[in-house]
Chain A
Amino acid sequence: EPEVTQTPSHQVTQMGQEVILRCVPISNHLYFYWYRQILGQKVEFLVSFYNNEISEKSEIFDDQFSVERPDGSNFTLKIRSTKLEDSAMYFCASSRELSTDTQYFGPGTRLTVL
């Protein structure tokens, strides 16, 4: 069964450094998403992406964040200058359709900012 994969599983970085989190969505999916989950808290929407453009973003997704689909398979989330409060689990998801279709989640990348 196809699945969403994410690398790395755990990333440790120093405050102020740039990080890139990588995701490989399910191959025939067209819509891609990033979510984050701060330890012990709810899952929060960050951004949705389709046709090489951001479809929607939350207030969390400020100028420090960017997304890109650099090739036909990868979908990345970049945080330019990490802050302590960026420490969280970041989940990538993909779906075939934008509307109310099922989003399939990857296993997540745990980001720790020191």
Chain B
Amino acid sequence: GNSVTQMEGPVTLSEEAFLTINCTYTATGYPSLFWYVQYPGEGLQLLLKATKADDKGSNKGFEATYRKETTSFHLEKGSVQVSDSAVYFCALVNNAGKSTFGDGTTLTVKP
């Protein structure tokens, strides 16, 4: 079956540091890939997505590129802010619409 493996957390960074959260996947077919963010006590918000190989998703300074050759979708941001503190989930959606999520990575950004 499909699976998503995320970099283990928690991750603690200082403000303005560079962020990378690794995500690799195993899937049959051609899934779409997503990053969701969950702030404390809230639901899942779509952060960015990519629907095919070599696509780059970007939003709010975050970026991730769909790499079919390495089956990866790593999340990056050049300069994090305190307000970026949240849990980040990598996910894929297969052709049947079923989402598979990674375990989530907790990011804490300190001033």
Q: Is A75 engaged at the interface, CB distance under 8 Å to the other chain?
A: no
Q: Is B42 engaged at the interface, CB distance under 8 Å to the other chain?
A: yes
Question: CB < 8 Å: which of A42, A45, A56, A58 contacts B103?
Answer: A42
B62-111 contacts to A, CB under 8 A, are 89, 91, 93-104
Which size class do B's interface residues fall under? 20 to 34
Number of residue pairs across A and B with beta carbons under 8 Å?
Answer: 66
- A55-B46 contact, Cβ under 8 Å, with A42-B89, A42-B101, A42-B103: no
Is the pair A104, B32 in contact by a Cβ cutoff of 8 Å? no
B residues with a Cβ closer than 8 A to A are 30-32, 34, 36, 42-46, 49, 51, 89, 91, 93-104
Q: Beyond the given A43-B91, A99-B95, A105-B43, could you list 11 further A-B residue pairs with CB under 8 A, ordered by the A residue number?
A: A33-B97, A42-B89, A55-B97, A98-B97, A100-B31, A100-B32, A100-B93, A102-B34, A104-B46, A107-B42, A108-B43
